[in-house]
Amino acid sequence: MNVLLIGGGGREHALAWKIAQSPRLTRLFCAPGNVGMEEVAEHVAIKSDDLAGIVRFAVDEKIDLAVVGPEDPLCMGLVNELTAAGVRTFGPDKAAARLEGDKAFAKELMWHRSIPTGDARIFTKFRDARTYVASRDTGVAIKAAGLAKGKGAIVCDDPAAGILALEKIMVQRAFGSAGDTVLVEEKLTGPELSVLAFVDRHSIYIMENAQDHKPIGEGDTGPNTGGMGAYSPTDLLDDRLLRQVESEILVPIVDTLRREGITYRGVLYAGLMLTAGGPKVLEFNCRFGDPETQPQVLRLKTDLIEVFEAVIDDKLGSISLEWDPRPAVCVVMASRGYPGDYETGKPITGLAEANAMEDVVVFHAGTRARGGQVVTAGGRVLGVTAIGEDFPAARRRCYEAVGKIHFEGAYCRKDIGAKAVAGKNPG
């Protein structure tokens, strides 16, 4: 099969790495890809938001399967365009992707079906939102309703900080039009985890779970990022809780979309917080997680192409996913200053040495080639990922690989997986 993977981040490198292992693969193209994907895929100089260019390429190259990685082209309707051109495509269509692209829409759907989530109010005017936040006496979470690359949620300990967050989003427009509508949500407390599932017209197949680390600082402090590391599996979800998440969250949201005339096919990502009152939804995403995908693909033994085709053909119920029982850990190496301003173009050394380690893969996220060197080109630069016999071994191997890689201003959290190693519930 000729496969086209759309995207160029760490998630897409991880997917490309896994797709390249399929015996059914003939050629793998990535648009636009990144320098780290060159070993497994052919680059196509088309940006992921160039829908017309991607469709033309897919038709001209007789692509048998297209896989859309990032949320932006999904929300723009790339799946619709490719499907209309006769290209079999994995990912939710534009209507289904609205579940991530419009948090206000998602929140209203959850309210409609009594899906457990935080109490919230929706605002389109700064003045009204400020008045509401000022009237509260507890912490709040301020969320841009649109796409903000994982950084649009600001958790505030008190109303004063909430007003500053509103000003950043609605007045200073830190996230552009994504902040035209905001949600002011109650501040939930508890450990977070990610539950991802493959979904087709008839079935929901929950993957092995993963634990993301959104805040920039150790101990989950500081502003949110796109994710500073992840590991899989976690011990947060036992069978009882997993059944509860499936029956009270995943099944109802898919059924609610269906009642709206929307069929969901692809990956459904539920970001959850395990509160004292049970699991509650923080957000829904319409694609694989980043960086959750990195440790998940190291553990997945099943051919991804088979899974993608089963979803497209509504035959998900006929397959079974096999997972390596060993845990995997991913540590993100970021540019100094991220998630704020940061410099790029810093030469990276030690990549070959890290990749040469047993059971280690270095996934590229924000890199590019310059003059025969690999240099930084983003906030999150690399996702160093390792698998081990147990969490201490996986974590030790991962940080050993991190220690071999150097670039000016490199930053990573030192506590990814620490709570799993300590035998505590990660969160």
The residues facing 216 across adjacent strands are none
The vertex-317 CA angle with 212 and 86, nearest 5°, equals 85
- The two tokens of residue 344 are 């790029």
Tell whether the model's pLDDT for residue 197 goes beyond 80: yes
Output helix, strand, coil percentages for the chain, rounded to the nearest 5.
35, 30, 40
Task: In whole angstroms, give the CA distance from residue 420 to residue 127.
Answer: 44
- Find the mean pLDDT for residues 367-376: 96
Task: In whole angstroms, give the CA distance from residue 193 to residue 19.
Answer: 25
Q: How would residue 419 be classed by pLDDT, with cut points 50, 70 and 90?
A: confident
Query: Is residue 396 exposed (0-12), middle (13-18) or buried (19+ Cβ within 10 Å)?
Result: middle
pLDDT at residue 69, as a whole number = 97
- Find the mean pLDDT for residues 152-173: 96
pLDDT at residue 427, as a whole number = 38
Q: Mean pLDDT for the chain? A: 95
Give tens-digit pLDDT for 57-75: 999 999 999 999 999 999 9
Give tens-digit pLDDT for 124-135: 999 999 999 999
| Chain position carrying tokens 């897409």 | 12
- Find the mean pLDDT for residues 153-163: 95
Q: How would residue 422 be classed by pLDDT, with cut points 50, 70 and 90?
A: low
Q: Which residues have C-beta within 8 Å of that of residue 131, sequence separation ≥ 6?
A: none
Please compute Rg for the chain using Cα positions: 21
pLDDT at residue 219, as a whole number = 92
What's the one-letter identity of residue 368? R
- Find the mean pLDDT for residues 357-376: 96
204-206, strands of its sheet edge to edge:
204-206, 192-199, 266-275, 278-285
The vertex-296 CA angle with 417 and 175, nearest 5°, equals 80
The vertex-161 CA angle with 212 and 101, nearest 5°, equals 50
Tell whether the model's pLDDT for residue 298 goes beyond 70: yes
- At 211 the three-state DSSP class reads strand
- Find the mean pLDDT for residues 375-379: 97
Give tens-digit pLDDT for 75-119: 999 999 999 999 999 999 999 999 999 999 999 999 999 999 999
Tell whether the model's pLDDT for residue 403 goes beyond 80: yes
Tell whether the model's pLDDT for residue 420 goes beyond 80: no
Tell whether the model's pLDDT for residue 52 goes beyond 80: yes
Q: What percent of the chain has pLDDT over 90?
A: 92
Q: How would residue 426 be classed by pLDDT, with cut points 50, 70 and 90?
A: very low
pTM of the model: 0.94
H helices present in 43-84, as ranges: 51-60, 71-76, 78-84
Q: How would residue 281 be classed by pLDDT, with cut points 50, 70 and 90?
A: very high
pLDDT at residue 61, as a whole number = 97
Determine the distance from the C-alpha atom of residue 386 to the mean position of all C-alpha atoms in its chain, rounded to a whole number: 18
- Find the mean pLDDT for residues 256-283: 95
- C-alpha closest to that of 196 among 307, 105, 352, 277: 307
The vertex-418 CA angle with 11 and 358, nearest 5°, equals 55
Contact 318, 348 (CB under 8 A): no
pLDDT at residue 146, as a whole number = 96
Task: In whole angstroms, give the CA distance from residue 350 to residue 403.
Answer: 9
- The two tokens of residue 241 are 């809780």
Residue 314 backbone zone (phi > 0: left; psi -120 to 50: alpha; other: beta): left
- Find the mean pLDDT for residues 284-300: 97
Q: What are phi and psi of 426, to 5 degrees?
A: -70, 145
Give tens-digit pLDDT for 224-264: 898 999 999 988 888 899 999 999 999 999 999 999 999 99
